[in-house]
Chain A
């Protein structure tokens, strides 16, 4: 089930390459940042891909999900509405949704 686009854990300091794009980041930039941001929260070291489920695969608690969301918000200087969260399970879905919100 794992997509070809897999990344391992990355330390947080290696993920600052998309700060300059700020508001209008695209799918891949969101994805890249998320792989890095999940490093600290991915305690089991699950291999990350677009189809990785934040709760079912990585086992994030609801508080950790909010922590993760806040990291994305601060990186891209955006606010992510709570409304979109019920439809989001995987990293890829979240990146897609964030790109859609830009339009």
Chain B
């Protein structure tokens, strides 16, 4: 039977329905403010939305989107290579290239298609892709399509990367190394300084996905590569508009002029409709704000530090690095579901993450903080976790 392979998932969903919890695809029914809403019937602080700079509900971005919709309509009804390249798409690419100080940028309709499309196209049969074992699903999808030899290295382990590059010998000249800036589930930051040094020693091309680090890391918000001071070693830098810029879409920038030729070879770019004019307009406005308002980043980090420090203090082990992604790992699935439910009842929405979305066999209560959260709201999130401990739903452990 075609559907047999979905039975395990069907059983799991039925079990959740029986428990009357809906952690996956919980419906947001209403926004009460940029950081509060009604989700699945609960009035909650939104602490799992990746809206890092709080720009998803920013009035000037909404206004830009409204004007663009009036002037350009609701959709482009075509591919970038056909009728779907409007002046806004071109300007957004120019502004991204300018932001990164490079000559070329490509934009995509979603972040998923940006990383998937670039990985699928940059390397081909006969080439090698060396990817971090904890890479995002879009990267795994892309490398599978590429036809290249796919080799994994241990997560954020420059020594293992070096070992595998050494084993490749001359083939490093045809090798694409794929890593991320901030890893989305535990919020850990890639050791890009060391990874770039390994690349310099052995060769290869370095691809960095800054989906969760754009607007979050770096002196000007360009991401983890900027923060590590290794932008010159990065051959391809990708990212998304759907986190810090509060819209949808993805991009890739490069110091290599050939990026403009690669554009004509990426199926995920060619065979899909381009981003809607309103999306492009709000993204451009959000990028402008990201550049003009570094204070958003300052506020984001204040909030991240507040939550991380408090969870650590109460003995809940968050991820290895302080970042706007703060995740509490639990070994027991049912406990994770109960805790998620209790947080909802306490007025806090976080993400419940289960394998294979989580990097290990553990379950995660994943928070993402925003520059738009007030310090009081972060306190409420902290209190909700404290209540889990007090009620014995989660045990206080010494953070590693």
Contact = CB atoms under 8 A, between A and B. Distances in A.
A83 B361 contact: no
B388 interface: no
Contact of B151 (A63, A66, A77, A79): A79
* CB-based closest 5 A-B pairs: A81-B149, A82-B150, A79-B151, A79-B164, A79-B167
A78 interface: yes
Nearest to A85: B150
A79 B202 CA distance: 16
18 contacts: A63-B361, A66-B152, A77-B167, A78-B167, A79-B151, A79-B164, A79-B167, A79-B168, A80-B151, A81-B128, A81-B149, A81-B150, A81-B151, A82-B150, A82-B151, A82-B152, A83-B149, A83-B150
Most chain A CB atoms below 10 A, which of B150, B164, B168, B361:
B150
A43 B150 CA distance: 30
A79 B361 CA distance: 24
Nearest to A76: B167
Size band of the interface chain B makes with A: under 10
B154 to A, nearest CB: 8
Contacts, number: 18
Nearest to B150: A82
Interface of A: 63, 66, 77-83
A83 B127 CA distance: 12
Contacts of A83: 149-150
Contacts of B151: 79-82
Contacts of A82: 150-152
Nearest to A86: B144
Nearest to B166: A77
A79 to B, nearest CB: 4
A81 B150 CA distance: 5
Interface string B219-255: 0000000000000000000000000000000000000
B360 to A, nearest CB: 9
Interface in B346-361: 361
Nearest to B131: A82
Nearest to A82: B150
Most chain B CB atoms below 10 A, which of A63, A80, A83:
A83
A83 B150 CA distance: 6
A81 B168 CA distance: 11
Nearest to B168: A79
A37 B151 CA distance: 21
A66 B356 CA distance: 15
Contacts of B164: 79
Nearest to A80: B151
Given A77-B167, A81-B149, A82-B151, 15 more contacts: A63-B361, A66-B152, A78-B167, A79-B151, A79-B164, A79-B167, A79-B168, A80-B151, A81-B128, A81-B150, A81-B151, A82-B150, A82-B152, A83-B149, A83-B150
Nearest to B361: A63
Nearest to B140: A82
Interface string B124-158: 00001000000000000000000001111000000
Nearest to A70: B154
Contacts of B168: 79
Interface string B356-371: 0000010000000000
A82 B43 CA distance: 45
A66 to B, nearest CB: 8
Interface in B334-390: 361
A82 B143 CA distance: 10
Contacts of B150: 81-83
B127 to A, nearest CB: 11
A79 B152 CA distance: 9
Interface string B155-195: 00000000010011000000000000000000000000000
A79 B131 CA distance: 12
A63 B362 CA distance: 13
A77 B164 CA distance: 9
Nearest to B133: A66
